[in-house]
Structure 1
Amino acid sequence: MKKLSEILPGSIPGNFQSYLKTKKVWNDCAGDSIAFLTTVGSTKDGVLNVAVHDQTWLSEIGFLKGELISRLNQQGLEISNINFFYKAKKQSEAAKAIHKRKEMSEKEKKFADKLIETVENEDLRNSLRKAIYAYFTVYTLDDYLNC
Structure 2
Amino acid sequence: MRMIPNPFSSIQTMVTGFSNQSIEWIAQNGDGWIHYLRVISQQIQLTNDYRELSELHVPRVFKPFTQTLYIDLSENTDALPIPIPLGFRVGHKQLLEILYQFQSIGVNHLAFVLYFSKRPPEEVIQELGEFVRPYFQTHEIPV
Please report the TM-score for the alignment, with normalisation by the length of structure 1.
Answer: 0.28
Structure showing the higher strand proportion among its residues = 2
Structure with greater helix percent: 1
TM-score by length of 2: 0.29
